[in-house]
Chains A and B, each alone.
Chain A
Amino acid sequence: MKARVSPATIALYGSLVILALAYLMPVYLTLITSLKFPGDISLPQSWQLPPEVNYGSFSEAFALLKPNIVNSFILTISATLLSTTLGSLNGYVFSKWKFPGSEIIFTLFLFGMFIPYQVILIPLFQTLRALNLYGGIPGLVLAHVVYGLPITSLIFRNFYAQIPDSLMESANLDGAGFFQIYTKIIFPLSIPGFVVTSLWQFTQIWNEFLWGICLTRHTSNPITVGLAQLAGGQAVSWNLPMAGSILAALPVLLIYIVLGRYFIRGLLAGSVKE
């Protein structure tokens, strides 16, 4: 049964291979274009391998995007740390310390992750200006932490729901309080939850664009804004935007390839009802 090659098996593998090639095609084109010299790039030859390999595109693109990459790392790491920590505490309360109305509050939290962010953009812009945070990275961190609360609280809430309540009760009998139970029991069991949540937040914040372009000045632009500007200029030859795309994609792509399992868990947590 196993080794027999039936027409169905051929159809299955055939369609999988064709689809896989189609999904990889954009990467191939990006890679070969980034490795070409500007003079070798032409539309009719866009699929052909570079006649001469030009690694210089990457150093050139990196030099142009370096300030943006540094900004994005500062922004992403600090916002991820803060929103994950808060999400863990919130998830702990939402799952283990339910109080009357906590389910409604949780639902009201979730609403915050489904709104089109255009609807809060103008007040956010005004508030950051009033707080003197407009234009810089701290203001962007604040926005990402606040609007990251729904998803981080959701992931941790569902994660902690799997920890048996009996564990909590016995700790409580031993005289442990709210924070002791968290530090002694919940937190040590949370490592996978922290990995899932922080990977999810990292990719989301790294990839974000709307706030980056509306709320930061040129010197604080994150990588997405830097790349859009690099690619938006009409005069630039295509090897630079392509190399820039690879640089901008690299951190999140590495996370996805190395820790894909956790990434998928974050992705499912954000969508499937428990």
Chain B
Amino acid sequence: MPNRDRLKAFLTLLPSMILIAVFVYGFIGNTFWISLTDWGGVAALAVNPVRNYAGLVNYQELFTGFLGGGFRQDLVNAVYYSVMLLAGAIGTGLILAILLDNKPRGEAVFRTIFLYPMSLSFIVTGTIWRWLLAPQGGVNILPTYVGLEPLKFKWLSSTGATLEFNWQNLLPIGLYILAAVLIISGLMIVRQNPSRALRRYLLPGIAITIVTWLAGDLLPKALFMEETHGFNLATIGIIMATVWQYSGYTMALYLAGFTGISQDLRDAAMLDGATTAQYYRHVALPMVKPITISAVIILSHISLKMFDLIFSMTGPDNAETGHPALNMYLTTFRANDFAKGAAIAIILFLIAATFIIPYLISSYRQRRVR
């Protein structure tokens, strides 16, 4: 193709490239720089605000400072929230997809019903679910219609917490989690490649466990005082609403994957005497593994930036259902502490980047192979 046309193609893309370079990469860099300053206070909104370089002070305060306790609880809660949302939405979506994959009559109607919440705004979902979860009505009185006692659970305002741990022990807990991940990954590949599993995963995992167990007390404490954080029970209501909204999405993903598996393969599995359960367990699910990975990535991304739904269900400043995304908004736009808001945003970004960058690199490599 003529060079003139190649140039035209490049020039067509150029404006978008510049916009992405500035608005995505430039802005992320700018936020990181802001997080290293002391920008905040009464004159924060001046045309040329005073901003002095302050190093990692903001991060230090968030993780180990006296006033950072709220943020730490939000962060812990967001991690629990992400994990439970993943389990709930992927599990429910998978069940729905398997049910519909059996081609019941009225499949299209059922699919429409399971997927419609996905088209709604989180604000609409939040408004509706706040009413559904009102303490003496909605979901709580449903059991009375089948003759049972009404539920008493305070969905959005319960102050109970569970799965608590002491923030002082953050380092040993992190090491135990790392060890668990290593050991589980090792056990998963131990059949195919025993020596590699042992060397790369199992032995390091066990070594970390033993060292942490023996010398855990010698590790530096993350905080000068005891501070427990856990999973706030009030978040269960938020998780239910999110699962309601997003399980149809994972259903659609899995359904597309299942439909892509040829009927021949299913027939062959059935002829070999596989039950329906065995077919999904050993044939269908392994084949749609890329879809599971996509769903995990997308749902984690959604749960990490979750803002709208919590805002509309409990308001932005409900400590029991806090989330770093809301904390960032309050810190930045209500308290005018731009530097600390930027630090929270960077923490969220770094968590998101740890799984999105590998995902994008692997999809880039796949495109190159083709």
Which residues of A approach B to under 8 Å, CB–CB?
12-13, 15-16, 19-20, 23-26, 29-30, 33, 42-44, 46-47, 86, 89-90, 92-94, 97, 99, 102-105, 107-112, 114-124, 127, 146-147, 149-150, 153, 172, 177-179, 203, 206-210, 213-214, 224, 227-228, 231-232, 238, 241-242, 244-245, 248-249, 252-253, 255-257, 260, 263-264, 267-268, 270-274
Cα A87 to Cα B102 with chains together (Å): 37
Render B91-128 as a binary contact track against A, CB cut-off 8 A, 1 for contact: 00000100110101000001011111111111110111
Q: Can you name 5 A-B pairs with beta carbons within 8 Å?
A: A47-B138, A90-B12, A107-B364, A242-B128, A271-B253
Between A103, A107, A214, A273, the greatest number of chain B beta carbons within 10 A of the residue's beta carbon is seen for: A273
For the complex formed, measure the closest distance between the CB of B96 and the CB atoms of chain A, giving whole angstroms.
Answer: 7
B202 within 8 Å of A (CB atoms): no
Cα A254 to Cα B287 with chains together (Å): 34
- Residues of B near A25 (CB, < 8 A) are 132
Residue from the list B10, B24, B290, B291 in contact with A120, Cβ < 8 A: B24
B13 within 8 Å of A (CB atoms): yes
Task: Name the segment of B68-76, B176-184, B215-223, B337-345 touching the other chain.
Answer: B337-345
Contact A108 B20 (CB under 8 A): yes
Between A42, A118, A268, the greatest number of chain B beta carbons within 10 A of the residue's beta carbon is seen for: A118
Known: A203-B119, A253-B119. Contact between A118 and B137, CB under 8 A?
Answer: no
Contact A228 B312 (CB under 8 A): yes
Cα A16 to Cα B99 with chains together (Å): 7
B85 within 8 Å of A (CB atoms): no
- Residues of A near B10 (CB, < 8 A) are 93, 97, 99
Contact A238 B131 (CB under 8 A): yes
For the complex formed, measure the closest distance between the CB of A185 and the CB atoms of chain B, giving whole angstroms.
Answer: 14
Q: A23-B113, A118-B349, A252-B121 are in contact. List 6 more A-B contacts (CB 8 A).
A: A47-B142, A119-B349, A177-B2, A242-B127, A253-B119, A256-B116
Contact A224 B123 (CB under 8 A): yes
- Residues of B near A245 (CB, < 8 A) are 124, 127-128
B285 within 8 Å of A (CB atoms): no
- Residues of A near B123 (CB, < 8 A) are 207, 209, 224, 227-228, 248
Contact B118 A267 (CB under 8 A): yes
Contact B364 A104 (CB under 8 A): yes
Residue from the list A99, A109, A122 in contact with B34, Cβ < 8 A: A122
Residue from the list A19, A116, A228 in contact with B96, Cβ < 8 A: A19
B329 within 8 Å of A (CB atoms): yes
- Residues of A near B349 (CB, < 8 A) are 115-116, 118-119
Residue from the list A44, A114, A209 in contact with B356, Cβ < 8 A: A114
9 cross-chain pairs, A with B, having the tightest CB-CB distances, nearest first: A43-B137, A97-B9, A207-B121, A116-B305, A256-B119, A46-B137, A119-B349, A120-B27, A123-B27
- Residues of B near A227 (CB, < 8 A) are 121, 123-124, 127, 312
B59 within 8 Å of A (CB atoms): no
Q: What is the chain B residue whose CB lies nearest that of A117?
A: B305
Cα A124 to Cα B1 with chains together (Å): 40
